């Protein structure tokens, strides 16, 4: 008869638990290095060829003429791509945690479209102009649609399954699209503004836009990062999380608010961009596992890298024109989404 010791851990077991931390730090350093490379590429590459010395000169504030002007528009553009990418990555990771849904994404769940509708309605009725106004309206729209989608998605048997949430998101998106069409169709004056904004891009980045949405992003990020430990408990299911001493409703609302602020502000700054919030957390989970304390910072870094890389890609493939980053992420992200769906067992959907 063997007996199993209960309550003491051997040194070997403790050592095994510590080892992944080193691996995670290593991967984090690698991601940061990749990010640095992408940033360099984003500043160096564009529809206009600028030689390296001129780039360095322009960054130093010197240089002259068209070369310097081209580089100087690339800098805020790169920063905006990084910020929006990080926001969407974290927002997606938090949404996947809060809904325990591997397919959650601000685009798929229709939250971007809610923000879009709010902004389009704002442009059409009261003539919104500043980025701060955009951000407030977008966050309100995102929050309302998040509540609507989650409520519809949890109807019926079995609660909020990934399938039902995705369907609710798609249905809500379709309704909001109809409203946007209904608003825009009779208004030739705002037609092209709305259409170019709807695609999602970072091409028109300006420093003042960035500074206006920054406060929203910072608050959203803090709320999200602060929820990391709670998200780990929620991953075990509501009952078990409550049993572990988590205040489930409060934790969920805090985390969701953080996610909504991040994606609302990102949408206000760059238009609705789909699939970044979906793909990034999945990628990060492969690298660091499911611990949200690691997953969220990773998602920020990888999200920033992914969006900046997509932006560079859009500038390369369509030369001399540019492909908006929202198109690139949709075309690149949808196959990843399909791959995730195909890999899952049917019961998990």
Partner 1 sequence: MTVAHTLEARSLSVGYQDREVLRGLDLRIPPGRITAIVGANACGKSTLLRSMSRLLAPRAGQVLLDGKAVHRTPAKQLARTLGLLPQSPVAPEGITVADLVGRGRHPHQGVLTRWRTEDDEAVAAALEATGSVELADRDVDELSGGQRQRVWIAMALAQQTELLLLDEPTTFLDVSHQVEVLDLLTDLNRARGTTIVMVLHDLNLAARYADHLIALADGAVHAAGAPAEVLDAGLVEAVFGLRSTVIADPVSGSPLMLPIGRHHSG
Partner 2 sequence: MSVVDRIRSSDGALARVVAGRRRRSARRRAILLGLGVLIVAAFVVTLMVGRTFYGPDEVLAVLFGRDVQGATFTVGRLRLPRAVLAVVAGAAFGMSGAAFQTMLRNPLASPDIIGITWGSGAAAAFAIVVLGLGGAPVSAIAIVAGLAVALAIYLLSRRGGLVGLRLVLIGIGVAAMLHAVTLYILSKAPDWEAQEAMRWLAGSLNGANWQSAAPVLVALTVLGPVLVLLARDLDALRLGDDTAAGLGVRTERTRLLVLVAAVGLLAFATAATGPIAFVAFLAGPIASRLVGADRPVLVPAALIGALLVIVADFTGQFLVGARYPVGVITGVLGAPYLLFLIIRSNRTGGSP
Query: Sign of dihedral through CA atoms 128, 107, 176, 260?
Result: negative
* Integer Cα distance of 168 and 111 in angstroms: 11
Q: Which of 83, 51, 80 is nearest to 68 (CA)?
A: 51
Q: How far is the CB of 12 from partner 1 (least distance, A)?
A: 24
Kindly tell me which of 65 and 158 has the beta carbon lying closer to partner 1. 158
Q: Which of 20, 51, 53, 156 binds partner 1 (CB under 8 A)?
A: 156
* Integer Cα distance of 202 and 326 in angstroms: 9
Q: How far is the CB of 1 from partner 1 (least distance, A)?
A: 6
Residue 202 is classified by DSSP as: S
List of residues 6+ apart from 175 with CB closer than 8 A: none
∠ Cα 246 280 344 (to 5°) = 80
Q: Which does 164 bind (CB under 5 to 8 A by kind): partner 2, partner 1, none?
A: partner 2
Kindly tell me which of 10 and 188 has the beta carbon lying closer to partner 2. 188
Q: ω before 320 within 30° of 0 (cis)?
A: yes
Host H or E run for residue 252: helix 248-270
Which residues ranging from 2 to 21 are in contact with partner 1 (CB under 8 A)?
A: 2
Residue 28 touching partner 2 (CB under 8 A): no
Q: How far is the CB of 129 from partner 2 (least distance, A)?
A: 21
Q: Which does 178 bind (CB under 5 to 8 A by kind): partner 2, partner 1, none?
A: partner 2
Which residues ranging from 310 to 339 are in contact with partner 2 (CB under 8 A)?
A: 323-324, 326-327, 330-331, 333-334, 337-338
Residue 335 touching partner 1 (CB under 8 A): no
Kindly tell me which of 125 and 188 has the beta carbon lying closer to partner 2. 188
Cβ atoms within 10 Å, residue 274? 22
Residue 347 touching partner 1 (CB under 8 A): no
Cβ atoms within 10 Å, residue 56? 12
* Integer Cα distance of 196 and 199 in angstroms: 6
**Between 268 and 307, how does the x/- string for binding to partner 2 read (CB under 8 A)?**
------xx--------------------------------
Kindly tell me which of 5 and 245 has the beta carbon lying closer to partner 1. 5
Kindly tell me which of 97 and 153 has the beta carbon lying closer to partner 1. 153
Cβ(134)–Cβ(120) below 8 Å: no
* Integer Cα distance of 62 and 42 in angstroms: 19
* Integer Cα distance of 242 and 245 in angstroms: 5
Kindly tell me which of 45 and 349 has the beta carbon lying closer to partner 2. 349
Query: Sign of dihedral through CA atoms 347, 257, 174, 340?
Result: negative
Q: How far is the CB of 84 from partner 2 (least distance, A)?
A: 16
**Between 116 and 155, how does the x/- string for binding to partner 1 read (CB under 8 A)?**
----------------------------------------
* Integer Cα distance of 332 and 312 in angstroms: 13
Q: Which of 30, 192, 237, 293 binds partner 2 (CB under 8 A)?
A: 192
Q: How far is the CB of 159 from partner 1 (least distance, A)?
A: 15
10, two tokens:
């051997």
Residue 92 touching partner 2 (CB under 8 A): no
**Between 145 and 174, how does the x/- string for binding to partner 2 read (CB under 8 A)?**
---x--xx-xxxx----xxx-xxxxxxx-x
Q: Which of 221, 234, 220, 229 is nearest to 294 (CA)?
A: 229
Q: Which residues bind partner 2 (CB under 8 A)?
A: 103, 107-108, 148, 151-152, 154-157, 162-164, 166-172, 174-175, 177-179, 181-182, 185-186, 188, 191-192, 195-196, 198-199, 274-275, 323-324, 326-327, 330-331, 333-334, 337-338, 341-342, 346, 349
């Amino acid at each position: 008869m063997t007996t199993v010791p209960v309550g003491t851990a051997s040194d070997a077991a403790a050592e095994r638990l510590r080892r992944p931390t080193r691996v995670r730090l290593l991967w984090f350093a690698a991601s940061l290095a990749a990010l640095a490379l992408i940033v360099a590429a984003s500043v160096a590459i564009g529809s206009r060829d600028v030689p390296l010395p001129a780039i360095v000169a322009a960054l130093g504030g010197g240089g002259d003429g068209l070369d310097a002007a081209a580089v100087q528009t690339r800098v805020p553009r790169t920063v905006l791509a990084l910020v929006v990418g990080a926001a969407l990555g974290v927002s997606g990771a938090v949404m996947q945690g809060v809904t325990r849904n591997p397919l959650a994404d601000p685009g798929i769940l229709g939250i971007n479209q809610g923000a879009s509708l709010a902004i389009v309605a704002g442009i059409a009725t009261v003539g919104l102009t500043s980025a701060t106004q955009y951000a407030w309206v977008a966050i309100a729209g995102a929050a309302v649609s998040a509540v609507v989608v989650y409520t519809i998605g949890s109807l019926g048997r079995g609660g909020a399954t990934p399938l039902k949430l995705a369907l609710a998101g798609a249905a809500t998106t379709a309704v909001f699209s109809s409203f946007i069409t209904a608003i825009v169709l009779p208004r030739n004056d705002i037609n092209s503004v709305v259409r170019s904004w709807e695609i999602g891009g970072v091409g028109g980045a300006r420093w003042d836009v960035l500074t206006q949405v920054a406060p929203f992003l910072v608050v959203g990020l803090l709320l999200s990062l602060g929820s990391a430990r709670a998200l780990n408990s929620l991953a075990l299911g509501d009952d078990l999380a409550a049993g572990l001493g988590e205040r489930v409703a409060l934790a969920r609302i805090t985390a969701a608010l953080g996610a909504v602020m991040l994606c609302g502000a990102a949408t206000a700054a760059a238009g609705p961009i789909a699939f970044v919030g979906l793909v990034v957390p999945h990628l990060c989970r492969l690298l660091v596992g499911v611990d949200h304390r690691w997953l969220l910072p990773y998602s920020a870094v990888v999200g920033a890298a992914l969006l900046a890389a997509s932006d560079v890609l859009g500038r390369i493939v369509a030369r001399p024109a540019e492909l908006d980053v929202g198109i690139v992420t949709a075309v690149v992200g949808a196959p990843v989404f399909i791959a995730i769906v195909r890999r899952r067992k049917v019961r998990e959907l």
